Structure 1
């Protein structure tokens, strides 16, 4: 009975979509949202919000620009992530919760200290404190990412990736526009103190949330003497995560894919602001559209990406969202041709943020599935750093290409820039018989 079979297949499909959406109501998935908020909150406190403070205090532009270097720890967090993976935590509440609470307590203290300074007399001290905040924030990210990967089942990694991105974006809005509003009314110390207090949201998760069970081969090392013990520790904690990853079939292709997946979006994003300004948009117009439309589109894209990843599987979601991400760059072409039109600007910002967030969610789920349970913190820190390479080093050539090619050819180039990574992904998927997220089903204590 073909008609009945068709109805049955349609009903199963509808049920699967509903199940994918229902994953967002799971307690463990919901715990990831405040952790994403805690992860995103410190970033702007050492970047644009700090720059605004310096500008109002009369600090020179050269000094403000030099403070961008305090963000370096985010790019190198994989260097000390083995310590978080293998050393006993300062607070004996489990490998992830103990490290998470200890780092967040230090981060709150450093944020308060930074907010209590005066840029006119304490600029050098503020540089050291801002670097400390960035270091602790990057270390917090290592713990949060490992906790997220380990606490969720393979089927929940997509919704979990959506939650981490959603919380992160909300936190950036709070620590950006929110901090400026508080500073305008009550002063900069009040702004930074408020942000420090909000970091406690993430701490509540570590205090009351479950601790993932530590695999036998990932038990923290206890202090023992002798060079042999040191060499054994280095072999398991430092070289072990990298050796484990390189035993994976086709690992060089996986690395190339990770580097190239967000390349086109990054190249376009770097030149988006120059495009808008060259078309005559005022800063107020750009800010209004970006803050409202961009924020809503990003959150929507992250959540939709999580549903798509849960329903289609990570590989198919990566391909679909990657193709949509590339197509989203074509709206920059529409903007360049259409000129100064606010409706085009809103459409361009919405398309870029929606598709970029969808692809970002799928990529986070993919990276999560690549991590071995014994080395979650170190391997995820390394893989996420690789994903940042295309957004930073390679995409920095965007300005030169835009000057030489012109706006329309340049943005067409960014549209096709991700195609090699997608082709490589299809090649990997066809030759990898192992399910992407494996059969790992973590238990909790």
Structure 2
């Protein structure tokens, strides 16, 4: 009997994956995920291939700074209605279609920039692409949260992360396969350009789902445009207990993982792996690890609760970096590359789903775009500015020492999580908008 109950429980936990809105969240994730990989993983691989040194590659990650600042213009995305287009398709979708059109152009220009010859031109288009991609994320994150009801939030976030990782996979493996001389050999310009077609899935999802469920709720008046647009979203968040501690936790939780991801591809190039070896392992191991890790995300939350899920997934992501340290010790070892990639994909799939669900739960639906942009901006500061010295760390300590350092810098996030837990600060805020700011009842950290 207990086995039957367990099977029914597992089936019930997995069933929401098949509903329309979580699937739409998957499509949104594809379009959201691919630009960042073009600006990080694929970019660092490209720069290493054309002879750019590790230190420059490390600081090139700083070109994604717009991701850390997007909360500054998120209130405008939340509030300003685009003439004509917003009346036709709604606020969120109007911004989505406009930004996607501009992003399509910038990705093509980035791919054609030839960094080995024109590093300044490359940097310009990287920044433009990062700005437009960050703006697309503002829209997609708000739209995703608004179209998902509470009982589908965890599963919709999981499918969104699966879509995000699928976009990562296409932009990483797919772009390199198109561009590399060991693949189709069509060059980086066409590789980047074809990858920009990943914008289409989000457009399809938006046309399919229609306007966000809460678009009318967020249009509040009577207190002045500036107050309603800029002041209220931040004031509502910072009035919560433990708000500053939560932001600090968001800032450092994935720092070790971010440092590792920024320098992974340069290490693979330096260890002598061919493009064919890199692509083959990522095609098979990376894809299946992605499927397994992301699919486990929502049940992982259901079984452990938010607090334990954050802690366990944080420990798993930290330990996965140890496999890359072993790979660095082994040198050119396809077996250890296989093990390291598999471990990283599964643990990151779980961790990203848990963390994204956590951030989604903190965003009040009255100010979805602004508050989620604030939280996710803090989350990516570690990936950009705090991880930019990663090239110097790798240069100073070697690859084995570098991966050990990434494990050490993951510890503060776990310590802060323990502090949050002990103090009983808010982890999940009620998502529904309220008549008055700050009146939604906070929930404690789920044990």
* TM-score, length of structure 1 as denominator length: 0.78
Residue 229 (structure 2) pairs with residue 233 (structure 1):
no
> Is 2:41–2:261's contact at 8 Å kept on the other side of the alignment?
no
Mapped partners of 1:84, 1:241: distance in 2: 13
Residue 17 (structure 2) pairs with residue 24 (structure 1):
yes
Mapped partners of 2:139, 2:6: distance in 1: 36
Q: Which residue of 1 aligns with 2:441?
A: none
> Is 1:265–1:326's contact at 8 Å kept on the other side of the alignment?
yes
Residue 241 (structure 2) pairs with residue 249 (structure 1):
yes
Match of 1:173 among 152, 169, 184: 169
RMSD between superposed Cα atoms in Å: 4.1
> Is 1:155–1:310's contact at 8 Å kept on the other side of the alignment?
no
Q: CA deviation at 1:105?
A: 3.4
Distance of aligned partners of 1:401 and 1:220 in 2 relative to their CA distance in 1, 3 Å threshold: same
Mapping of residues 112-123 of structure 1, within 5 Å: none
> Is 1:154–1:437's contact at 8 Å kept on the other side of the alignment?
no
Distance of aligned partners of 1:14 and 1:428 in 2 relative to their CA distance in 1, 3 Å threshold: farther
Match of 1:135 among 118, 131, 134: 131
Mapped partners of 1:266, 1:220: distance in 2: 38
Q: CA deviation at 1:26?
A: 1.2
Q: Which residue of 2 aligns with 1:282?
A: 273
Q: Secondary structure of 1:392's partner?
A: coil
Q: Which residue of 1 aligns with 2:440?
A: none
Match of 1:361 among 353, 369, 377: 353
Which is further off, 95-104 or 178-187? 178-187
Q: Deviations over 1:40-87 (max 9, x none)?
A: 23445567778999999x9999xx979877534333222111111111
Mapping of residues 293-332 of structure 1, within 5 Å: 293-332=285-324
Q: CA deviation at 1:426?
A: 3.4
Distance of aligned partners of 1:187 and 1:83 in 2 relative to their CA distance in 1, 3 Å threshold: same
> Is 2:45–2:266's contact at 8 Å kept on the other side of the alignment?
no
Match of 1:97 among 93, 98, 104: 93
Residue 70 (structure 2) pairs with residue 77 (structure 1):
yes
> Is 1:309–1:317's contact at 8 Å kept on the other side of the alignment?
yes
Q: CA deviation at 1:30?
A: 0.3
Q: Secondary structure of 1:161's partner?
A: helix
Mapping of residues 35-434 of structure 1, within 5 Å: 35-43=28-36, 71-90=64-83, 91=85, 92=87, 93-108=89-104, 110=106, 131-179=127-175, 194-214=194-214, 218-219=218-219, 232-270=224-262, 272=264, 280-284=271-275, 285-286=277-278, 288-336=280-328, 338=330, 340-398=332-390, 411-432=403-424
Q: CA deviation at 1:364?
A: 0.6
Structure 1 residues without counterparts, runs of 5 or longer: 1-6, 222-228
Match of 1:14 among 4, 7, 16: 7
Which is further off, 423-432 or 25-34? 423-432
Mapped partners of 2:305, 2:229: distance in 1: 31
Mapped partners of 1:346, 1:376: distance in 2: 39
Q: Secondary structure of 1:391's partner?
A: coil
Which is further off, 332-341 or 24-33? 332-341
Q: Secondary structure of 1:394's partner?
A: coil
Q: Deviations over 1:134-164 (max 9, x none)?
A: 3322211111111111211334333223222
Distance of aligned partners of 1:403 and 1:55 in 2 relative to their CA distance in 1, 3 Å threshold: closer
> Is 2:242–2:426's contact at 8 Å kept on the other side of the alignment?
no
Distance of aligned partners of 1:204 and 1:82 in 2 relative to their CA distance in 1, 3 Å threshold: same
Distance of aligned partners of 1:367 and 1:52 in 2 relative to their CA distance in 1, 3 Å threshold: closer
Structure 2 residues without counterparts, runs of 5 or longer: 435-447
Q: How many residues are paired up?
A: 424
Distance of aligned partners of 1:31 and 1:302 in 2 relative to their CA distance in 1, 3 Å threshold: same
Q: CA deviation at 1:310?
A: 3.9
